């Protein structure tokens, strides 16, 4: 697909400086872009490439001051990064709209309710009483269990497994290899030291506009629902246990694990490799630093914690500053001890 600078400027609400009829068909990083590609400049440290880039069109901020002429056609916008992201989304949407139909071979149960303009890729399995709304894309080798509901324009990437009775909202994106609705880790200890499995009878509900990275697992509830609320963004390789609730617009980075029945509020930010124990409450707006271990509820909105066990981030910075001074403090204490010994020896004489 080819687009002119004028068309791109209309999409992002920008102003063209240069040839408005020049066309591009793909994207590139400003330092590596070739002729026929579009790039953007948002980070000042890459400004030198603005003047040497081979890109035919470059999106820049309105406030960007040119220090020398450029060969590229420029599109000025309020926020270059956001404008470029918008273009990528539009491009992806156009490509996705071209994929409509059902490939063969697939298994689709006779009771499945199919909306308009859907795509189902080869070797997908769609179980009984599944509802697939308008515009849904289900890529090859996906498994959709019985009674699953998938909302409008959601995208299920290759190899995703969605177990029975789970509900997926509108415009949800689930990336390859993710498993939704596997059994929660429920085992009751027995007198003889063995463990007896507790049936997991609930489901998983994923609300609208959620995106879930590759190879993440979200367990079904023991009873009730594990819930991922609207706008949440989950990275790759996460473990979300049974009966967890994740609030609106909360973001969680890779390799984090959340134990059963923990409730995470809205607009929470959780770094990579964070561990959160079960049955906690994490207040709205909390921020948890990477590799932290959270063992107690965070009850104050906007609280920032770090470390394992996690504690107040500001206090942690003060502690780190003191730790760096310990060698100097040790020398001073040693000097004071030496002076004290001298004084004591003088008194003894």
Is the four-CA dihedral 133, 134, 139, 140 of positive or negative sign? positive
Instruction: State the Cα–Cα distance between residues 178 and 214, nearest whole angstrom.
Output: 5
How many CB atoms lie under 10 A from the CB of residue 28? Answer: 19
125: nearest Cα among 83, 79, 161, 85: 161
Whose CA is closest to 126, among 111, 144, 138? 144
Contacts for 63 with CB less than 8 Å, ≥ 6 apart: none
- Phi, psi of 322, deg, nearest 5: -70, -40
What's the token pair of residue 216? 């993440």
11: left (phi over 0), alpha (psi -120 to 50) or beta: alpha
What single DSSP character describes residue 321? H
Instruction: Return the half-sphere exposure (C-beta side, CA atoms, 13 A cut-off) of residue 249.
Output: 5
Half-sphere exposure of 155 (CA within 13 A, CB side): 18
Using CB atoms within 10 Å of the CB of residue 253, give its burial: 0 to 12 exposed, 13 to 18 middle, 19+ buried.
buried
State the catalytic residue, choosing from 164, 175, 242, 279: 242
- Whether 175 is catalytic is no
Query: How would you classify the pairing of strands 233-234 and 251-252?
Result: parallel
Measured distance CA(130)–CA(120) in Å, rounded: 13
Cite the active site residues. 242
């Amino acid at each position: 697909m080819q687009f002119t600078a004028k068309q791109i400027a209309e999409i992002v609400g920008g102003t063209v400086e240069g040839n408005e009829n020049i066309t591009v068909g793909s994207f590139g990083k400003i330092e590596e872009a070739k002729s026929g590609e579009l790039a953007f400049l948002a980070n000042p440290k890459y400004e030198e490439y603005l003047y040497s880039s081979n890109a035919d069109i470059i999106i820049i901020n309105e406030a960007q001051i040119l220090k020398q002429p450029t060969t590229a056609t420029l599109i000025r916008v309020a926020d270059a990064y956001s404008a470029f992201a918008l273009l990528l989304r539009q491009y992806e949407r156009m490509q996705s709209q071209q994929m409509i139909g059902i490939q063969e071979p697939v298994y689709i149960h006779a009771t499945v309710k199919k909306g308009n303009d859907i795509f189902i890729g080869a070797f997908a399995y769609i179980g009984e009483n599944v509802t697939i709304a308008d515009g849904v894309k289900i890529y090859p080798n996906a498994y959709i269990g019985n009674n699953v509901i998938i909302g409008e324009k959601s995208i299920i990437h290759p190899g995703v497994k969605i177990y029975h009775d789970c509900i997926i909202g509108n415009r949800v994106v689930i990336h390859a290899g993710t498993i939704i609705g596997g059994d929660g880790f429920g085992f009751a200890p027995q007198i003889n030291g063995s463990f007896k499995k507790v049936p997991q009878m609930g489901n998983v509900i994923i609300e609208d506009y959620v995106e879930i990275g590759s190879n993440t697992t979200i367990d079904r509830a023991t009873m009730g629902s594990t819930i991922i609320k609207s706008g949440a963004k989950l990275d790759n390789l996460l473990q979300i246990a049974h009966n967890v609730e994740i609030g609106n617009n909360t973001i969680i980075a890779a390799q984090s694990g959340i134990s059963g029945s923990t409730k995470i509020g809205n607009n929470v930010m959780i770094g990579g490799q964070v561990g959160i124990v079960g049955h906690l409450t994490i207040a709205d707006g909390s921020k948890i630093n990477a590799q932290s271990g959270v063992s107690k509820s965070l009850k104050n909105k906007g609280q920032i914690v770090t470390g394992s066990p996690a504690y107040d981030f500001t206090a942690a910075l003060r502690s780190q500053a003191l730790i760096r001074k310990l060698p100097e403090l040790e020398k001073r204490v040693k000097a004071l001890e030496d002076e004290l010994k001298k004084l004591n020896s003088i008194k003894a004489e």
